[in-house]
Structure 1
Amino acid sequence: MQDRKLEQALEIYFRENPDRESDKYQEIQKYLKLRIRSVMELLIENEDTERMEQIEKCGWFSANELENFIRCAQEKAKLRSLVWLLHLKDKKYGYPKKDFSL
């Protein structure tokens, strides 16, 4: 039941030309923000990188959560999602430089 509610909330949130000022839209936005892990896991499962990008632009998750999403995509073998998440990590946070000199 929770997954169905989440899917419905996502459908309303991603409607074309939503009324962003409506109370219902604001409630859905709060709900999705609180359930960001479940939201991203569902989008990873569906390999919906377009919606992942829109969610990322909202700033609802941190570097630590991004690492968890990358791990989730790896475990589920969702290559498209994994590549997108790795590119996002590189763009936002980069990768630590390591010294390989002898």
Structure 2
Amino acid sequence: MIRFASFATTLAASALLAVSAASAGFYDAKPVAAPAKVSSITAGVMWKCADGVCTAPASTTRAPIVCEQVVKRYGALTSFAADGKAFDEAALAKCNARAK
């Protein structure tokens, strides 16, 4: 019985860790204007927006292309990051040039 309780506790902790990691997102984008929709699919990637930040899981597309797809959907961004690495000013400016 103790083994089962230990296993159940470990399983529950793993599930909570997976949920918190998923909510953080691989991509983080901060649009200049608050998005009208709280979620959308852009190029097959589900974006969820809350409190001025839009997040999405990892995709096979390169980060600069993902950024360009996001600005086409949400407009100019104040910041964009992929896997915790923020775009520098030049990369963000190039991305924002594609804004609608």
Note whether the superposition's TM-score is higher than 0.5: no
Tell me which of the two structures has the higher relative contact order, counting C-alpha pairs closer than 8 angstroms and 6 or more residues apart.
2
TM-score, normalised via structure 2 length: 0.33
Normalized per residue, the structure richer in strand is: 2
TM-score, normalised via structure 1 length: 0.33
